[in-house]
Amino acid sequence: MLFNENPVTLYEPFNYENFDLVDEFWVSYDGEFRDDNKEGFGILYISSGERFEGSFKADYVCGPGSFFKRNGQKIDGIWLNNKLI
């Protein structure tokens, strides 16, 4: 598990289509690592109260996953290098 020591609170919904924008808006990551990078299955918790559960590769959201909005809505998709495709 990895924690962000200084997360910034995001008061609006996170744009799950582009994880390049996550900056310091993440709170923690619970998942697999390889060579100190997020790699394999993991859960990324966003300071907006949302989360991503899915695949990571070389620190990028990459592969199948699900994004859970604050209202409980689940968005399934496939991401490539942090971008929803």
Residue 12 confidence (pLDDT): 96
Residue 70 confidence (pLDDT): 95
Domain ranges of the chain: 2-84
Give the model confidence (pLDDT) of 31-63 as tens digits. 999 999 999 999 999 999 999 999 999 999 999
Mean pLDDT rounded to a whole number for the chain: 97
Give the model confidence (pLDDT) of 5-40 as tens digits. 999 999 999 999 999 999 999 999 999 999 999 999
Across 56-67, b (16+ Cβ under 10 Å) vs e yields bbeebbbeebeb
